[in-house]
Amino acid sequence: MTAVGIDAIEIWTGKLTLNLPETFAPVKGEDPAKYTKGLGLETSSFPDVYEDIVTMGANAAKRLMDRRGLTPDDIGRIDVATESAFDNSKPVSTYIAGCLEQTYEGDFRHANKGERKFACVAGTQSIDDAYNWIKAGRNRGRAALVIATDTALYARGDPGEATQGAGAVAMLIDEEPSVVELSTEQGYGSMDETDFLKPNQQFPSVDGKRSMQVYLARMREALEDYESVAGRTKVEDFEYIPFHTPFPGMVRKAGLLGYRHMIRDTEKEDELADRIGRQPREADFDSWDDYEEAIRAYMDDLKETDEYREWYGRVIDPTLSLARRVGNWYTGSVHVARTSALKHAYETGKAMTGKQLLVGSYGSGAQAEIHAETVREGWRDEIEALNVDEQLAGRYDLDFEEYEQVHDAHNHEKDVELEEFTQPANEFVFTGWGRMNERK
């Protein structure tokens, strides 16, 4: 069977940055450690005034196409995943295709274009759509371009404000891919939830604490569903486990839950039993509350064990290094986590070809999806080609007043004229709602 998966990746960050411990914390009257240690964030990315979801997505896609020597004729499908769309009719992919067509001879006249929405899980769903299109043999030898692009902004003063971010991830989905092959097996955990939503509003209404519980519950269900088709997962099976990362502290909780699930009834659980006992079994308790309390106590002990710490440091922590510096990119977030993991492998000289990743995507509203990926031979060249460190280092560092101005400039309800902080350099720039963007 032909392998299908991610053949190329490019990342485009918003060009501004806000330092959470140094700039945000003092104004909010918070201990900087709340952001760095609690949420796990250092800085976030923001779009400059000439950037939006279209320009960031088009710039990521342009880099990808140029690097791989592609023309529009090579692409049979463009799907954009976003929860920051500004047009209820015309999909963002048409705006992005319009940008790209300004720079290539051909056009995307015969490509299928669309827009996917299901909060942050839509990026992975778009990859799924591309995978199915290729597997069904409808692609006529062409690849699919999937672009996950968002400006993840919260209302000022919302607890989510600290987790903001903006950027795009462009991915080429193709046969015999260079980076990872996707597993046929998938698991879902999906329920109608109202903890994070944007009904006809730009900024989300969020019940932050509940959203964390929903994330963990749906992720656990997705893992169980995945195991029902792929067989039991074990901690030894996966080199990295990239999760959707609204902020690294969330993934710390998901990682612990995943570890507990994966060691259940294994030698690892036996090994730990002498020190922390066996995992509580629901059948042994009279009430759910007692069972939950026992689980919490077990988890508290588990996270202090050397075995768990070593696993977390090796398998989960490397997936968070970019998120710490960019914040939540919503649809792009889990793809940033996978990139972080592979970047870590590249920088530490790890042999990855043939190794497995377990990828946990999540979108509020709510749905989690879990699948496995097998790393392919070309992964190293793809990761080497990224210039993400350069991009992050080149961001303009906002002071708090400037941050507020930028936030206002990106608030659709406000009419704010603001000078740009950085200079566009041979890239697409925003020229007004519904208008053709320009390359400057």
Residues that bind ligand HMG (CB under 6 A): 31, 33-34, 37-39, 83, 119-120, 159-160, 162-163, 196, 206, 208-209, 211-212, 215, 244, 246-247, 249-250, 328, 330, 362-364
Judged by beta carbon, residue 114 or residue 208, the one nearer ligand HMG is: 208
Residue of 42, 120, 344, 369 with catalytic role: 120
CA–CA distance, 345 with 311 (Å, rounded to integer): 15
Indicate if 227 belongs to the active site.
no
Judged by beta carbon, residue 75 or residue 251, the one nearer ligand HMG is: 251
CA–CA distance, 230 with 226 (Å, rounded to integer): 6
Q: Are residues 333 and 320 in contact, defined by beta-carbon separation less than 8 angstroms?
A: no
HSE-up of 229 (CA within 13 Å, CB side)?
14
Indicate if 83 belongs to the active site.
yes
Q: Are residues 115 and 91 in contact, defined by beta-carbon separation less than 8 angstroms?
A: yes
CB of 40 to ligand HMG, least distance (A): 9
Indicate if 30 belongs to the active site.
no
Q: Are residues 214 and 364 in contact, defined by beta-carbon separation less than 8 angstroms?
A: yes
367-401 residues labelled b (16+ CB within 10 A) or e (exposed): bbbbbbbbbbebbbebbeebebeebbeebeebeee
* Residue 428: closest CA among 9, 12, 110: 12
Neighbours of 435 (CB within 10 A): 10
Structure token pair of residue 32: 């900087």
Judged by beta carbon, residue 5 or residue 47, the one nearer ligand HMG is: 47
Q: Are residues 398 and 23 in contact, defined by beta-carbon separation less than 8 angstroms?
A: yes
CB of 323 to ligand HMG, least distance (A): 11
Judged by beta carbon, residue 133 or residue 362, the one nearer ligand HMG is: 362
CB of 432 to ligand HMG, least distance (A): 26
Which residue's entry shows tokens 């709510």?
366
CB of 194 to ligand HMG, least distance (A): 12
Residue nearest to ligand HMG (CB): 38
CB of 47 to ligand HMG, least distance (A): 17
Angle at the Cα of 258 (from 253 to 242), degrees rounded to 5?
80
Residues with Cβ within 8 Å of 37's Cβ and at least 6 positions away in sequence, in order, are none
CB of 38 to ligand HMG, least distance (A): 2
CB of 189 to ligand HMG, least distance (A): 13
Structure token pair of residue 149: 């692009």
- At 184 the three-state DSSP class reads strand
Residue of 115, 239, 244, 369 with catalytic role: 244
- Positive or negative: CA dihedral 97, 365, 181, 376: positive
HSE-up of 191 (CA within 13 Å, CB side)?
15
Q: Which residues have a catalytic role annotated?
A: 83, 120, 244
